[in-house]
A = this chain, B = another copy of it.
Amino acid sequence: MPEKLRVGFIGLGLMGRPMSLNLLKAGFPLIVWNRTQSKADSVVKAGAMLGRSPANVATRSDVVITMVSDSPDVEQVVLGSGGVPTGVIDGAQRGSVVVDMSTISPAVTRSIAQRLAEKGVAMLDAPVSGGTVGAQNATLSIMVGGDPEVLQRCMPVFQALGQRVTHCGPNGMGQVTKLVNQIIVTGTLSAVCEGLLFGAKAGADLQAVQRAVSGGAANSWQLENLGPRILSGDFAPGFMVKLLQKDLRLVDEAATEMGLPLFTTLIAQQVLRVAANLGLSDEGTQAYIKALEAMAGVQARTPSS
């Protein structure tokens, strides 16, 4: 039996921390790094080694996972810029693999993959859907762009992190697929909120409405999961407003570059800006309805919530 892949993990935030713990549970030798070192403590206590820098992590790993916030963060930890003196690229061995699981720009992804390829390092873009619950329970859906042979080599790692692993095409296509996912999530959320608000304004019993419409062609994950939270006034984040805004900025950038008109998606983006302006950036995306409520002068839930 071949030895376990040595895994490096950079970015131990709300997603990265539970994911790295799952890799330890699955028995992978793990070396971690985080910009704020204190966030690595609990993972090191659970059995991980602590790297001195992204480059040091890369030197000691077969597969380096990055799970950070945005395109510039990935550029910094992989290419070594913006206050990160030595990036993954400065330490990575020829034949090793960088797996970026952040949600970032497809174009930036392709450019980083190109830079790594020049050093003989492979890259996969492998953004995920499923949120912190999916990260904890290892039930993430993983959308992979890059060489299918490299994906096969990394499969044991992915299997420790998620349930559904889909190869979507060459580098960048994992990110494109994730952005498709976010476009559909946003529009469906908007549809659910506008429907509920229409019912509220017309004086309907929203519990009955939710029951009636979830039985057919109007049903969705958003309606089933966020509808009841909206009606009970639960705005705790499964996925935060500000993170959906970041993803829609990536959608908007890519659509602008491609000359693609996106009618309802970009209107929904404006409503999310209203939500942010109301101070709801750190609430769950279901707070979308609070922005609509503020603009409509009606509440789609009990006033106490």
Chain A residues within CB distance 8 Å of chain B: 106, 129-131, 134, 141, 143, 163-164, 166-169, 172-173, 176-177, 179-188, 190-192, 194-199, 201-205, 208-209, 211-213, 215-223, 225, 239, 251, 254-255, 258-265, 267-268, 270-271, 292, 295-298
Cβ contacts under 8 Å, A129 to chain B: 213, 215-218
The CA of A199 and the CA of B145, in the complex, are separated in Å by 13
Top 6 nearest A-B pairs (CB, nearest first) are A187-B191, A220-B220, A166-B212, A184-B218, A184-B195, A264-B264
Q: How far is the CA of A167 from the CA of B208 in the complex (A)?
A: 7
Of all chain B residues, which has the CB nearest A174? B212
How many angstroms between the C-alpha atoms of A223 and B219 in the bound complex? 10
Given contacts A182-B218, A194-B264, 7 further A-B contacts (CB under 8 A): A166-B208, A181-B212, A183-B198, A184-B213, A187-B264, A201-B260, A217-B225
Chain B nearest Cβ from A143, distance in angstroms: 5
A164 and B212 contact, Cβ closer than 8 Å, known pairs A184-B191, A185-B217: yes
> Is the contact region of chain A dominated by helix, strand, or loop, or is it mixed?
helix
Q: Could you tell me if A184 and B192 are in contact, using CB atoms closer than 8 angstroms?
A: yes
Q: CA of A172 to CA of B202 in the docked complex: distance in angstroms? A: 9
Known: A197-B260, A212-B166. A185 touches B218 (CB 8 A): yes
Tell me the minimal C-beta distance from A154 to chain B in angstroms. Answer: 17
Q: Do the beta carbons of B221 and A221 come within 8 Å of each other?
A: no
A176 touching B190, Cβ below 8 Å: no
Q: Could you tell me if A194 and B190 are in contact, using CB atoms closer than 8 angstroms?
A: no
Instruction: Tell me how many chains of this kind the complex includes.
Output: 2
A198 x B251 contact (CB < 8 A): yes
Q: A212's contact among B143, B219, B220, B258, by CB below 8 Å, is which?
A: B143
A130, A181, A268 pick with most chain B CB within 10 angstroms:
A181
Residues of B within 8 A of A173 (CB): 202-205, 208
CB-CB under 8 A from A219, the residues of chain B are 220-221
Task: Name the distance in Å between A70's Cβ and chain B's nearest Cβ.
Answer: 19
Is there contact, CB below 8 Å, between A191 and B264? Answer: yes
On whether A204 and B222 interact (CB within 8 A), knowing A168-B212, A216-B130, the answer reads: no
Contacts A212-B181, A216-B130, A221-B220 given; does A198 touch B260 at CB 8 Å: yes
Q: List 23 A-B contacts (CB under 8 A).
A: A106-B202, A166-B211, A169-B204, A172-B202, A177-B199, A177-B213, A180-B198, A180-B213, A181-B216, A181-B217, A183-B191, A184-B191, A184-B213, A184-B218, A185-B191, A186-B191, A187-B192, A190-B264, A194-B264, A220-B222, A260-B298, A263-B292, A267-B267
